[in-house]
Structure 1
């Protein structure tokens, strides 16, 4: 039986698939990003989409629905001013204004539990429209 991490506030579970996909992204660089969604019927958080290592931030932004909430993690690679290659993981809480109130509440109350389950997140971005999570916002966080 698969192990899962329960998010106390909502009674939702983070599946092993979610944690394993995150570890694959973090350590093996198999994914550039992962989009998570709640399956309310099963009461668990599942992997909605993954982006391959060649995909970029625009691909992640395009993978988020215009009318429903999601969580996403993005592995941002960059080169520092002293020419060192670095990687930082961003957590994105996506809650567009067109999404249902119930979905917004569910995602808002579950965010901290998911962040605890996914160790190694460096920065968090909360967005209700694409401009709040633009690539410039991500780059500015690194300063």
Structure 2
């Protein structure tokens, strides 16, 4: 298990599932949660390849922080099929202050361990991670 600067461990499953998403494309998204009792980042939910961006955003808790990755598939103006892996730091305004601080202090080190992240988005409100924003950042 790798350690982050906050002292937060990262479960082996986090890395394994990310590699599966990146190499095999067998997950559309992964939602990560910090287990405060274990002081460890764990996988909370895996999205099936056929799930949509709406399925992903609806899987995020309304009032709790999470890390997440989303495998975005799109077609360029030149009609080329492409993918980009987005990293999300979800910290809603309604989350506990302690939780927001814990996620903020763990984010950079955790994200660095996920080799292959192409775009990062931080959001405190669903409007900050609308599909239009994702599409704009992918180009």
| Cα deviation, residue 14, structure 1 | 0.9
| Cα deviation, residue 41, structure 1 | 0.6
Distance (Å, rounded) in 2 between the aligned partners of 1:28 and 1:142? 20
Counterpart pick for 1:127 among 119, 123, 126? 123
Counterpart pick for 1:6 among 3, 25, 37? 3
Counterpart pick for 1:109 among 84, 105, 109? 105
Distance (Å, rounded) in 2 between the aligned partners of 1:22 and 1:61? 18
Q: When the two structures are superposed, what TM-score results if normalisation uses the length of structure 2?
A: 0.98
Q: When the two structures are superposed, what TM-score results if normalisation uses the length of structure 1?
A: 0.95
Runs of 4+ in 1 over 2 A off after TM superposition: none
**RMSD between aligned residues:** 0.7
| Cα deviation, residue 139, structure 1 | 0.5
5+ residue gaps, structure 1: none
Counterpart pick for 1:95 among 91, 94, 101? 91
Aligned length: 139
SS of 1:124 mapped into structure 2: strand
Which deviations, in whole Å up to 9, do the C-alpha atoms of 1:12-52 show, x marking residues without a partner?
11111000000000110110000000001111000010100
